[in-house]
Amino acid sequence: MPQVNIGVLISGSGTNLQSLIDNIESGSINGRITVVISNRKDAYGLERARQKNIAAVYLRQNNYESFEKFNDAIIDELKNYGVELVVLAGYLKILTSKFIKEYTNRIMNIHPSLIPAFCGKGYYGIKVHEEVINYGAKLSGATVHFVDEEADTGPIIIQEAVEVCYEDTADTLQQKVLKIEHKILPLAVKHYCDGKIQISGRKVKIKE
Protein backbone atom coordinates (compact mmCIF):
# COMPACT_ATOMS: atom_id res chain seq x y z
CA MET A 1 0.00 0.00 0.00
CA PRO A 2 1.20 3.55 -0.69
CA GLN A 3 2.20 5.68 2.28
CA VAL A 4 -0.53 7.84 3.80
CA ASN A 5 0.19 11.56 4.03
CA ILE A 6 -0.41 12.74 7.60
CA GLY A 7 -0.90 16.28 8.91
CA VAL A 8 -0.48 16.87 12.64
CA LEU A 9 -2.05 19.79 14.53
CA ILE A 10 -0.44 20.81 17.82
CA SER A 11 -0.52 23.56 20.43
CA GLY A 12 2.32 22.55 22.74
CA SER A 13 5.46 20.50 23.27
CA GLY A 14 4.48 17.76 20.85
CA THR A 15 5.34 14.58 22.75
CA ASN A 16 2.57 12.72 20.92
CA LEU A 17 3.94 14.12 17.66
CA GLN A 18 7.32 12.70 18.64
CA SER A 19 5.77 9.28 19.26
CA LEU A 20 4.38 9.37 15.71
CA ILE A 21 7.72 10.45 14.25
CA ASP A 22 9.52 7.64 16.11
CA ASN A 23 7.04 5.00 14.93
CA ILE A 24 7.27 6.21 11.34
CA GLU A 25 11.07 6.12 11.47
CA SER A 26 11.01 2.57 12.87
CA GLY A 27 8.83 1.45 9.97
CA SER A 28 5.83 0.66 12.16
CA ILE A 29 3.56 3.22 10.47
CA ASN A 30 3.09 3.11 6.70
CA GLY A 31 2.75 6.87 6.46
CA ARG A 32 4.70 10.11 6.47
CA ILE A 33 4.06 13.41 8.19
CA THR A 34 4.01 16.04 5.46
CA VAL A 35 3.18 19.04 7.68
CA VAL A 36 2.88 20.05 11.33
CA ILE A 37 0.65 23.04 12.06
CA SER A 38 0.43 24.98 15.32
CA ASN A 39 -1.71 27.86 16.55
CA ARG A 40 1.13 28.82 18.90
CA LYS A 41 4.39 30.22 17.59
CA ASP A 42 6.43 28.96 20.55
CA ALA A 43 5.08 25.40 20.48
CA TYR A 44 8.10 23.09 20.78
CA GLY A 45 6.37 20.62 18.49
CA LEU A 46 7.24 22.94 15.59
CA GLU A 47 10.91 22.56 16.46
CA ARG A 48 10.50 18.78 16.62
CA ALA A 49 9.16 18.94 13.06
CA ARG A 50 11.98 21.18 11.81
CA GLN A 51 14.58 18.81 13.28
CA LYS A 52 13.16 16.07 11.05
CA ASN A 53 12.84 18.29 7.97
CA ILE A 54 9.04 18.24 8.22
CA ALA A 55 7.21 21.40 7.14
CA ALA A 56 6.39 23.41 10.29
CA VAL A 57 3.62 25.99 9.91
CA TYR A 58 2.47 28.56 12.47
CA LEU A 59 -0.96 30.08 11.90
CA ARG A 60 -2.13 32.89 14.20
CA GLN A 61 -5.89 33.11 14.64
CA ASN A 62 -5.81 36.88 15.14
CA ASN A 63 -4.46 37.31 11.62
CA TYR A 64 -7.81 36.19 10.23
CA GLU A 65 -11.10 38.07 10.23
CA SER A 66 -13.02 35.15 11.74
CA PHE A 67 -12.55 31.76 13.35
CA GLU A 68 -14.01 30.23 10.19
CA LYS A 69 -11.38 31.93 8.01
CA PHE A 70 -8.67 30.70 10.39
CA ASN A 71 -9.89 27.12 9.99
CA ASP A 72 -10.13 27.60 6.23
CA ALA A 73 -6.45 28.57 6.24
CA ILE A 74 -5.57 25.34 8.07
CA ILE A 75 -7.57 23.33 5.52
CA ASP A 76 -5.69 25.09 2.71
CA GLU A 77 -2.34 24.19 4.27
CA LEU A 78 -3.39 20.56 4.71
CA LYS A 79 -4.44 20.40 1.08
CA ASN A 80 -1.19 22.05 -0.03
CA TYR A 81 0.70 19.19 1.62
CA GLY A 82 -1.60 16.46 0.28
CA VAL A 83 -2.79 15.44 3.74
CA GLU A 84 -5.09 12.41 3.85
CA LEU A 85 -5.22 11.87 7.64
CA VAL A 86 -5.33 14.68 10.22
CA VAL A 87 -4.07 13.93 13.73
CA LEU A 88 -4.81 16.27 16.63
CA ALA A 89 -1.91 15.78 19.02
CA GLY A 90 -2.54 18.19 21.86
CA TYR A 91 -4.32 20.74 19.65
CA LEU A 92 -6.35 23.04 21.90
CA LYS A 93 -8.73 24.61 19.38
CA ILE A 94 -12.08 23.35 18.17
CA LEU A 95 -12.62 22.69 14.48
CA THR A 96 -15.39 24.16 12.34
CA SER A 97 -18.15 22.05 10.79
CA LYS A 98 -16.64 22.72 7.37
CA PHE A 99 -13.28 21.36 8.53
CA ILE A 100 -14.84 18.20 9.98
CA LYS A 101 -16.94 17.59 6.86
CA GLU A 102 -13.88 18.06 4.66
CA TYR A 103 -12.08 15.28 6.56
CA THR A 104 -14.98 13.09 7.76
CA ASN A 105 -13.62 10.00 9.56
CA ARG A 106 -10.12 11.21 8.70
CA ILE A 107 -9.45 13.28 11.83
CA MET A 108 -8.09 11.51 14.93
CA ASN A 109 -7.78 12.98 18.41
CA ILE A 110 -6.08 11.71 21.55
CA HIS A 111 -7.86 12.47 24.84
CA PRO A 112 -6.35 11.82 28.30
CA SER A 113 -9.28 9.92 29.86
CA LEU A 114 -11.55 6.97 29.19
CA ILE A 115 -14.29 8.63 27.14
CA PRO A 116 -17.17 9.21 27.92
CA ALA A 117 -15.78 9.98 31.40
CA PHE A 118 -14.01 13.29 32.07
CA CYS A 119 -14.34 14.67 28.57
CA GLY A 120 -16.15 17.37 26.62
CA LYS A 121 -15.98 21.13 26.76
CA GLY A 122 -13.32 22.43 29.14
CA TYR A 123 -11.72 19.04 29.73
CA TYR A 124 -8.15 19.25 28.47
CA GLY A 125 -4.63 19.10 29.79
CA ILE A 126 -4.00 18.80 33.52
CA LYS A 127 -7.63 19.69 34.35
CA VAL A 128 -8.73 16.22 33.19
CA HIS A 129 -6.40 14.53 35.66
CA GLU A 130 -7.37 16.92 38.47
CA GLU A 131 -11.01 15.99 37.98
CA VAL A 132 -10.22 12.26 37.97
CA ILE A 133 -8.30 12.61 41.25
CA ASN A 134 -10.98 14.78 42.86
CA TYR A 135 -13.71 12.32 41.88
CA GLY A 136 -11.83 9.41 43.38
CA ALA A 137 -11.95 7.31 40.22
CA LYS A 138 -10.02 4.04 40.39
CA LEU A 139 -9.29 3.88 36.65
CA SER A 140 -8.35 6.44 34.05
CA GLY A 141 -6.51 6.15 30.76
CA ALA A 142 -6.48 7.50 27.24
CA THR A 143 -8.75 7.36 24.20
CA VAL A 144 -8.08 7.76 20.49
CA HIS A 145 -11.25 8.69 18.62
CA PHE A 146 -12.43 10.13 15.35
CA VAL A 147 -13.52 13.76 15.56
CA ASP A 148 -17.10 14.82 14.93
CA GLU A 149 -18.86 18.15 15.51
CA GLU A 150 -19.14 17.81 19.29
CA ALA A 151 -16.31 17.75 21.85
CA ASP A 152 -14.89 14.25 22.37
CA THR A 153 -17.99 12.46 21.03
CA GLY A 154 -16.70 10.81 17.85
CA PRO A 155 -16.35 7.04 17.33
CA ILE A 156 -13.78 5.47 19.65
CA ILE A 157 -10.85 3.70 17.96
CA ILE A 158 -8.67 2.53 20.87
CA GLN A 159 -8.76 2.91 24.66
CA GLU A 160 -6.39 1.73 27.36
CA ALA A 161 -6.75 2.07 31.11
CA VAL A 162 -4.34 2.81 33.96
CA GLU A 163 -4.92 2.36 37.67
CA VAL A 164 -5.38 5.50 39.74
CA CYS A 165 -3.59 4.92 43.04
CA TYR A 166 -4.54 6.58 46.32
CA GLU A 167 -1.20 8.42 46.35
CA ASP A 168 -1.53 9.74 42.79
CA THR A 169 -1.64 13.46 42.11
CA ALA A 170 -2.81 15.08 38.89
CA ASP A 171 0.84 15.33 37.83
CA THR A 172 1.72 11.68 38.49
CA LEU A 173 -1.48 10.51 36.83
CA GLN A 174 -0.71 12.70 33.82
CA GLN A 175 2.64 10.96 33.42
CA LYS A 176 1.01 7.52 33.61
CA VAL A 177 -1.56 8.47 31.00
CA LEU A 178 1.05 10.05 28.71
CA LYS A 179 2.79 6.67 28.44
CA ILE A 180 -0.51 5.20 27.27
CA GLU A 181 -1.06 8.06 24.81
CA HIS A 182 2.36 7.51 23.26
CA LYS A 183 1.43 3.85 22.75
CA ILE A 184 -2.15 3.97 21.43
CA LEU A 185 -2.02 7.06 19.19
CA PRO A 186 0.70 5.58 16.92
CA LEU A 187 -1.17 2.27 16.99
CA ALA A 188 -4.40 3.90 15.82
CA VAL A 189 -2.53 5.74 13.06
CA LYS A 190 -0.82 2.48 12.06
CA HIS A 191 -4.19 0.72 11.75
CA TYR A 192 -5.53 3.58 9.62
CA CYS A 193 -2.52 3.56 7.31
CA ASP A 194 -2.83 -0.22 6.95
CA GLY A 195 -6.50 0.14 5.94
CA LYS A 196 -7.65 -1.88 8.94
CA ILE A 197 -10.20 0.54 10.43
CA GLN A 198 -13.85 -0.13 9.68
CA ILE A 199 -16.58 2.24 10.94
CA SER A 200 -20.25 1.37 11.37
CA GLY A 201 -22.20 4.15 13.05
CA ARG A 202 -20.46 4.74 16.39
CA LYS A 203 -18.68 1.39 16.35
CA VAL A 204 -15.11 0.95 15.11
CA LYS A 205 -13.68 -2.43 14.17
CA ILE A 206 -9.97 -3.10 13.70
CA LYS A 207 -9.77 -5.72 10.96
CA GLU A 208 -7.29 -8.59 11.28
Q: Which residues are catalytic?
A: 111
CB-based contact 98:68 (threshold 8 Å): yes
| Nearest-angstrom CA–CA distance, 40 and 32 | 23
116 CA to centre of own chain: 16
| Half-sphere exposure at residue 186, Cβ-oriented, CA atoms within 13 angstroms | 22
CB-based contact 32:55 (threshold 8 Å): no
Signed CA dihedral, 76, 81, 82, 83: sign only: negative
Q: Is 100 left (phi over 0), alpha (psi -120 to 50) or beta?
A: alpha
Q: How far is CA 42 from CA 1, 9, 154, 158, in A?
A: 36, 14, 30, 30
| 3-class DSSP assignment, residue 29 | coil
| Nearest-angstrom CA–CA distance, 34 and 103 | 16
